[in-house]
Amino acid sequence: MRPVAVTALSARLSELGWVTDLLVAGSLATGDHVPGVSDLDLVAVVDGPVGAEREAALVAVHRDLDRGDAAGADLGCVYVDEARLLDPAALHPTWTHGSLVQRILSGVTRVELVRHGFAVSGRAPADLLPPVTDDEVRAAVRAEICGYWRWASRRPRMWLSPVIADLGLTSMARGRYALATGDLLTKTAAIEQADAPAWLLDQLRARRRGEVRRACARPRRALRCHR
């Protein structure tokens, strides 16, 4: 069943008149979404540049949703000018954790869209993005490991958070899998391949099931801001 937050966002964006497509990536696309635990990762394609007026409209939409239908859903969305969709270095307005920031559409998100994503409205991801080879999957994952995770490894205080500890373990497991196979691994499946003692794996499983409330979102916000 589609989350209420996604349906609500689709309805609000259609009212703007300049969002042509709304696509689902992340755990919702791969079938690994856990309500109350997983983020909602969406990508919206727009018919031109998102200037100040459009940015203000997006902020208003998301703030309203975050107080209502998307409350607690960690709804995020990247707004991509279709003319710049194929530029991997282009920065796009991105709503994440209560703020609109500028961010690239990451290689991993592109892989998720092409291989697992689907459209809430508009065209399918395969009609907007080219196919992704196994080597391109490896390159995308390598860039994330050598980018954000290299940066995070130099900030020991971040690792006091269970959020970052969990993400670190599962991201390394996902990275090893992707480099070996040229495909992505879900977070739930990655727990079973994490390099961790049994007691910690039990905690990872419990947190993934939502049995342990997530810690402060600040480290997760750092992850999103870096990407």
CATH number reported for the structural domain that contains residue 112 in this entry: 3.30.460
Q: Express each pLDDT in 186-226 by its tens digit.
A: 999 999 999 999 999 999 999 999 886 544 344 444 444 44
User: Both 141 and 122 in a single domain?
Assistant: no
User: Both 123 and 11 in a single domain?
Assistant: yes
Q: What is the residue range of 195's domain? A: 134-226
Q: Express each pLDDT in 137-180 by its tens digit.
A: 999 999 999 999 999 999 999 999 888 889 999 999 999 999 99
User: Both 38 and 148 in a single domain?
Assistant: no
Handedness of CA 82, 85, 89, 91 (dihedral sign): positive
User: Both 122 and 15 in a single domain?
Assistant: yes
Q: Does the global pTM surpass 0.85?
A: yes
The pair of structure tokens assigned to 170 is 């599962």
The pair of structure tokens assigned to 83 is 């003319």
Domains of the chain: total: 2
User: Both 31 and 120 in a single domain?
Assistant: yes
Across 108-135, average pLDDT: 98
User: Both 122 and 163 in a single domain?
Assistant: no
User: Both 141 and 218 in a single domain?
Assistant: yes
User: Both 103 and 173 in a single domain?
Assistant: no
In DSSP terms, 81 is beta-bridged to: 46
Which class for 31: exposed (0-12), middle (13-18), buried (19 or more C-beta within 10 A)?
exposed
pLDDT at 162 (0 to 100)? 85
Place of tokens 């291989």: 115
User: Both 154 and 107 in a single domain?
Assistant: no
pLDDT at 114 (0 to 100)? 98
User: Both 138 and 123 in a single domain?
Assistant: no
Q: Residue 80 in contact with residue 46, Cβ under 8 Å?
A: yes
Tell me which of 109, 127, 145 is where a domain ends: 127
User: Both 165 and 182 in a single domain?
Assistant: yes
User: Both 117 and 44 in a single domain?
Assistant: yes
Q: Express each pLDDT in 35-73 by its tens digit.
A: 989 999 999 999 999 999 999 999 999 999 999 999 999
Tell me which of 99, 127, 155 is where a domain ends: 127
